[in-house]
A and B are shown apart, each in its own frame.
Chain A
């Protein structure tokens, strides 16, 4: 009997019309995934004490108060509220590549919209930067739940084209960043600008949380080509005519080195990093991120 595909499988998601519908499916998947994952605490900021009643988690018992007053009190913490998150999506030409159901830009948009929905549901403010060409689209962070409609419309309206200018993202973010916030970047990081990592580290150093979703197509990771091929750039006129079998080994070495260097450099700067393949169910990179972050 043929196995029924998961409702979050990219092939299934691609059959759903409209980003909003897909986002709802992904968010459900994320929430279900988080429910089943191990979570050790809700927050780090102490808010108040509450008298213990049966059913409360005894791990949150304040033992010092018990020692002083012989009364049972439970510590209560502030939830993460009023976070200002900015989601930045790379909309350069290279993000238009697709080998299966989603292009990298579509996949990044789906991840971003899903994350925005989750953030808005818990009362955070979410903004959006679409990095395309020299004049990126910039939607400031808003905390209303109906703000998701604006974000989704903007993501859907965007067509990836032109060269990559990821350097703009940090300057745009810094411009409006007041108190501590969160910057989430969705990109293939095929940007020749070597200063990107430094500027992201600088943002993190200022106390902002920086998350990078490294969105890549399986073709770019596995390089499965065999026949003689003329590879053409998605952003300019460059091309290369080659026999892929002869280049495959060297290409994979180069790609793996790139992924490892990127992961290591971002980790050193305290940035969160998630590799997102466009052929994996989109809720999985989100779950990996959220699980790790809450842990």
Chain B
């Protein structure tokens, strides 16, 4: 036995309009105009002859019009045919409603999200509860939330709780929800238990078999598929990988098909803000994942959020994926030339300048200005991020002070040696800026016949873990190992307790490259020359990438990590700067959240509020103030990829999961139990319109 219920019963008030045809007919009769007519005999004869036919036609017309209105009103009220349980015979029924609120429920059938259909079906279920029936309510999302318990016969409480359910962006575990629901049903004393699942029945939501509460019979399971038999063919953007190649960015996008049919000619576009950077076509074969590469120019803005858009389908939210793009930001360097020569290749900075901008500043991303030590003044450091002191004998006290302030506020400094350097003077004017004080300048190899030192020694103890030297691990290690150095400064051994790192040593164990922090900035000491006076490195291929990475590193670019990407509801660990005591996170909806580490002094904070997909901007804070430096620009949260697969679980599979002894009823589209009958009434209304037109023409 089935019963007819309505999703929007308030629309049934429209049935009052069914009386309109009769009322209009009566008004017309009352308001008929009077007309004197000569051929009245003809009219009377015709009327007498056709009276019965006319009356019949009038009745049929009125009936057709009345039924037409009734059909339209019923169609608008959303009629559903629901199974009428044999409640009277078995007694009251206690139901546990489980509303699926997972990401896949955002899919739409005719601009109507499945999540809304599920809620309307749930409301209709509540309204259709017979006297004595009870229900409890659970929402299955990232976790199973019990909204109404114990089971109640209060429709108001149930309807209020349904109003609070909003769809989420994560997955759901309907098996866990069924177990939680069954536990609530087991507490109910009534004998008839029913578990109603309002879901899209996607197979991924049923990871295993539910464990029913011991000691009680498993409830009847009703699976109400809210998709109404609509298409489940879906595709999604699943991944974005990017590689910077000079001025171009190579973006490799992954597209997945969760469809049994091929999808030809889908359009994919890469957008930055409102600007479309690239566009292409994607052909997806059934149930495959493919990748497509786009090449775009590196954007000029420092930090960018890009989007890959695929032709939208029934789940448009997974047809878009955001990614982070670092822009082209020039590093501005100041080169202080301590040994300027009129012959170019003998100039102290000849190799350095060519290494930093071999094809212009646009290619390397490094712009530099060169001055001599006597021209160095505090204003020289404006807009500069890195300073190179190459073979500088001495700086003025004012310049030294300005240099200290510059490094302390986050700037980078590299000090290199040369024949102009006086160790004692350098220790004075650079003082604590040097990672280690200089002791002396020594020869590293035996003298040649002419008394000059050209037989040098190689590097050893290379710290390949360091960002500056990481790239030499594979590609150019040989080039680095072929370098010979025959003269260098030696530093004082560590005694002061100040932290420093020796990134590179000579074969004799003497440091070649020493790094130390100086308040907000960093200093590197290169114990030999930047030209070929004391070392052969400037003539080697590895010299160019080495100096470019040193520059980026000292400018803080290499330490800024790319934004992590996590799935919805997964925690994110955000590293803290040394001088930061927390972070301020700007959510995708522009809300701001301040977060402090769980323990004072911890090097990171953990953010767990990743409930929605999007880009979460992160800024480091100290005493509530934002810092300009940052460890990561933010992080990206994606919806779970398995939610894009909308393929349903089969009845047999579900029956096997819940146990053969558990009664399973399939409701929803294509089934006899719960079915929208709107289309039937619309078709009936259409037939009545045709019938009316036929009667009028007769």
Contact = CB atoms under 8 A, between A and B. Distances in A.
A231 B43 contact: yes
A242 interface: yes
Interface string A228-241: 11111110001111
A104 B43 CA distance: 19
Interface residues of B, number: 25
A241 B33 CA distance: 9
Contacts of B37: 97, 219-220, 231-234
A230 B42 contact: no
A254 B45 contact: yes
A255 to B, nearest CB: 6
A188 B38 contact: yes
A247 B50 contact: yes
A38 interface: no
A104 to B, nearest CB: 7
Interface stretch (B24-32, B278-286, B433-441, B679-687): B24-32
A238 B33 contact: no
Contact of A225 (B35, B40, B44, B58): B35
Nearest to A103: B38
B52 interface: no
A246 B38 contact: no
Nearest to A238: B40
Nearest to B31: A228
B46 A250 contact: yes
Contacts of B696: 245
B34 A230 contact: yes
A229 B32 contact: yes
B39 A241 contact: no
A240 to B, nearest CB: 5
Contact of B43 (A188, A227, A251): A251
Contacts of B46: 247, 250-251, 254
Interface in A228-277: 228-234, 238-243, 245-247, 250-251, 254-255, 258
A95 B39 CA distance: 10
B33 A242 contact: no
Contact of B38 (A220, A239, A258): A220
Contacts, number: 89
Contacts of A258: 42
Nearest to B39: A220
A242 B48 CA distance: 12
Contacts of A245: 696
Contacts of B90: none
B36 A97 contact: yes
A175 to B, nearest CB: 29
B49 interface: yes
A217 interface: yes
Main SS of chain A's interface residues? Answer: mixed
A5 B47 CA distance: 40
Contacts of B41: 190, 192
A227 B34 contact: no
Nearest to B34: A230
Interface string A202-225: 000000000000000101100001
A240 B33 contact: no
A132 interface: no
Given A228-B29, A230-B32, A247-B50, A240 B39 contact: no
B672 to A, nearest CB: 44
A240 B40 contact: yes
A240 B36 contact: no
A258 B39 CA distance: 11
A234 B33 contact: no
Nearest to A258: B42
Nearest to A247: B46
B470 interface: no
A94 interface: yes
Given A238-B44, A240-B40, A251-B43, A229 B29 contact: no
Given A240-B47, A247-B50, A247-B54, A231 B42 contact: no
Contacts of B40: 231-234, 238-240
Contacts of A227: 28, 32-33
A220 B40 CA distance: 10
B271 interface: no
B32 A228 contact: yes
B532 to A, nearest CB: 105
B168 to A, nearest CB: 60
A240 B41 CA distance: 10
A240 B35 contact: no
Contacts of A220: 37-39
A217 to B, nearest CB: 7
Nearest to A95: B38
* Residue of A192, A225, A239 contacting most chain B CB atoms (<10 Å): A239
Interface in A75-97: 94-97
A155 to B, nearest CB: 19
Interface in B43-80: 43-47, 49-50, 54, 57-58
Interface string B558-591: 0000000000000000000000000000000000
Contacts of B57: 246
Nearest to B30: A228
Given A246-B58, A250-B50, A240 B42 contact: no
B38 A241 contact: no
A170 B35 CA distance: 33
Nearest to A225: B35
A239 to B, nearest CB: 8
Interface string B674-698: 0000000000000000000000100
A241 B29 contact: yes
Given A238-B44, A247-B50, A230 B38 contact: no
A295 B35 CA distance: 43
Contact of B35 (A95, A192, A229, A254): A229
A254 B33 CA distance: 23
A229 B39 CA distance: 14
B35 to A, nearest CB: 5
A277 to B, nearest CB: 13
B692 to A, nearest CB: 13
A129 to B, nearest CB: 21
* Residue of B42, B44, B50 contacting most chain A CB atoms (<10 Å): B42
A217 B37 CA distance: 10
Nearest to B42: A254
* Residue of A229, A246, A254, A258 contacting most chain B CB atoms (<10 Å): A246
B23 to A, nearest CB: 14
* Residue of B28, B34, B35, B57 contacting most chain A CB atoms (<10 Å): B35
Nearest to A97: B38
B428 to A, nearest CB: 113
Contacts of B50: 246-247, 250
A254 B44 CA distance: 11
Given A228-B28, A240-B44, A247-B47, A190 B39 contact: yes
* Residue of A241, A242, A245 contacting most chain B CB atoms (<10 Å): A242
Nearest to A257: B42
Interface string B632-675: 00000000000000000000000000000000000000000000
15 contacts: A95-B38, A96-B38, A188-B38, A220-B39, A229-B34, A230-B35, A231-B35, A231-B40, A233-B37, A234-B38, A240-B47, A242-B54, A246-B57, A251-B43, A254-B45
Given A219-B37, A231-B37, A234-B38, 6 more contacts: A190-B38, A192-B41, A233-B37, A246-B57, A250-B46, A250-B49
Interface of B: 28-29, 31-47, 49-50, 54, 57-58, 696
User: What 10 pairs across the A-B complex have the smallest Cβ distances?
Assistant: A94-B38, A97-B38, A228-B32, A233-B40, A250-B46, A231-B37, A228-B28, A220-B39, A230-B32, A230-B34
